[in-house]
A and B are shown apart, each in its own frame.
Chain A
Amino acid sequence: MTFLAIVIDGFIYASWLFIIAAGLSLIYGVMRILNMAHGSFYAIGAYTVASLAGWYWSAGLPPYGGIVLMFVIALAVGALVGFVIERGVLRFLMDRDQIVMVLVTFGLLLMFEDIIKLMWGVQSYYAPEPYSLFGSTDVGDLVFVNYDLAMVGVAALVAFLLWFGLNRTRQGKLLRAVIHDRELAITMGINVRRLFVITFSVGAALGTLAGGLVAPAIAVTPGIGIEIIVLAFAVVVTGGLGSIQGALVGSILIGLARAAAVNLYPELELFVIYGVMALVLIFKPRGLFALASTRKI
């Protein structure tokens, strides 16, 4: 029974991690930016949905419309913030070293922390209505909230759409060319700057989507962005930076490990997450599905 709980809990947690990590990994793969501000996107998504959903449900409008609204709002606000950040800040720094981009986005993360506090204040937001909307399922004597189980479906959908977008569309093929070799892609006439804007907006939208979807299940408080970003890093680094399938495998691995720890030895929760990451990196220093790299002199 504990085993079943671990597996189901693990996959629920993994699907939520995957939505965050996929955006992070996509941005890194295409733009070579390890985006610390992704934690802020997550927080912005959570706050927006929590405050809007609160307003929507207190207005007594049809409940399922609220779910649709959640998706639309979360994706729209993410794409907007991503667009502004890319155009306003990052595009000026694209020829700098990777580590500089980490530091710039770290600066952005700090700025967003206070901007969020200025906009939403320091009190917690709750929007529990969508969470209980779908009821719950009993598996033996275990109870699972259907909203959580639906997260697995959403993550699978995101994974499918990313796979389809990258492998079966023209834009996706261009993106893969850029991931593989940016300089060569430019010489072949691909408009890399335009792809960067699109990628960053999509990646940011995935970050806010994850925040928006988790908002009904938690208390939205200041600092959630800072907590989540190192977790997302652990996932993408374990899986291999820049690889979507790496993000998938990494999130399942870490999701299951965390669920096992929570069910068996709750004290080890944080330890296990970074322990898995460290263990993988010891044997595969660039993660499980690392992008191929050339040795340049």
Chain B
Amino acid sequence: MRQIDYSFIAIVLAALLLALGAVVFPLWLLSTIVNIIAKALVVIGVILLMRGGLVSFGQGLYYCIGGYVVGLGGQLLGITDIVLLLVFAAIIGIVSGAVIGLLMSRFREIFFAMFSLAIAMILYGMLSQSQALGSTDGFNVARVTALGIELTAGQASLLIYLVACALAAILSILTHIYYKSEVGFACLAAGENEVRLQYLGATPNRIFYGTYIIAATLAALGGALTAINYGHVGPNMTYWTQSGEFIFIALLGGSGSVMAAFVGSTLFEFVRTYALEFAPDAWQLILGTVLVLIIFFLPDGLWSLIQPARSSARIKRRGKAPS
């Protein structure tokens, strides 16, 4: 008998509740939540790759591409419509992911990590040297509009918030479908043992290629949302420490469920806000300590406290024979 999957209902309900919260939430909280959602979208992509045993130390690349697409779309093409901008960012994310993915899908393990890092740093090098794009400072992004209507600052933040909630719900559902699909399971299997998967008739490279494009698109959307939310983009979005932050959140939440990315992202933002207020000099110390402790004691992330993993997609606990 087929088990009923309540996840869809849960996701939709959560998104609706969150959207309703706009009535009572103060403005700063709206912006913070949008930021959490934006990061969580990138993290979902990181987790998708992690399920296949690939750790991307360069997801900031697409995060940055998404952000700059929004910035340049407003500046050069005069597009300020929020939906158009997001669609535009997603398309560029798919295209760039498809091109770079051709190379990336050949790499595994730390070579994948290092190569993704190199490509992200190439973009960083180019952006931080280009005077036209504001070098290391980046540039400001124009306020968004909706259907050609100019908005006040308050209306704009409300709109961004609602769009972010909708986007989070749609992408969570799509990711959940992917998790339960054949490709999703095949990706998990490829992370465990590629050769066996090949004997079963699947092509790991193609699976990784597809997953890589999905992750790139999610990161581009996350970056676009961040750019719209903050009204500013800069090359720091593709610096490797930013990519490291995404990996940190992914490990914090764990890969047990789509929701884990949101839990991890929320917690991260929460801790950061308070750490920066009370112990600004020890923020990285806290971050590093938590990271090491999680790897030691909670390899499946915080989500494993809520839902203990069965066939887990965790970062492998046991090392393979050194190859």
Contact = CB atoms under 8 A, between A and B. Distances in A.
A75 B291 CA distance: 29
Looking at B124, B196, B241, B292, the one whose CB has the most chain A CB atoms below 10 A away is: B292
A5 B108 CA distance: 39
Contact of A106 (B107, B291, B296, B319): B291
Contacts of B316: 96-97, 100
Contacts of A102: 55, 57, 110, 113
B317 interface: yes
Contacts of A100: 295, 299, 315-316, 319
Interface stretch (A42-50, A114-122, A161-169): A114-122
Contacts, number: 150
A194 interface: no
Interface of B is mostly: helix
Contacts of B289: 107, 111
Contacts of A273: 125
Interface in B212-236: none
Size bin of chain A's contact surface: 35 or more
A107 to B, nearest CB: 3
B179 interface: no
Contacts of B288: 106-114
Nearest to B128: A270
Interface residues of B, number: 53
Nearest to B290: A107
Nearest to A106: B244
Contacts of B106: 285
B281 interface: yes
Interface in B279-323: 281-285, 287-292, 295-296, 299, 315-323
A110 B320 CA distance: 27
Nearest to A89: B292
A267 interface: yes
A19 to B, nearest CB: 20
A276 to B, nearest CB: 9
Interface stretch (A7-15, A128-136, A233-241, A245-253): A233-241
Nearest to A111: B288
B315 A97 contact: yes
Contacts of B285: 110-111, 113-115, 118
A114 B280 CA distance: 10
A158 interface: no
A278 B118 contact: yes
Contacts of A99: 53, 55, 109-110, 113, 315
Contacts of B321: 183, 296
Given A98-B110, A108-B292, A110-B284, 6 more contacts: A100-B319, A107-B292, A182-B322, A270-B121, A274-B118, A274-B121
20 contacts: A93-B296, A96-B318, A99-B55, A100-B295, A102-B57, A104-B291, A111-B284, A111-B285, A114-B284, A118-B282, A118-B285, A181-B322, A182-B322, A230-B121, A273-B125, A274-B118, A274-B121, A274-B125, A278-B115, A281-B111
Q: Which 6 A-B pairs have the closest CB atoms?
A: A270-B125, A110-B288, A111-B288, A107-B291, A114-B285, A107-B292
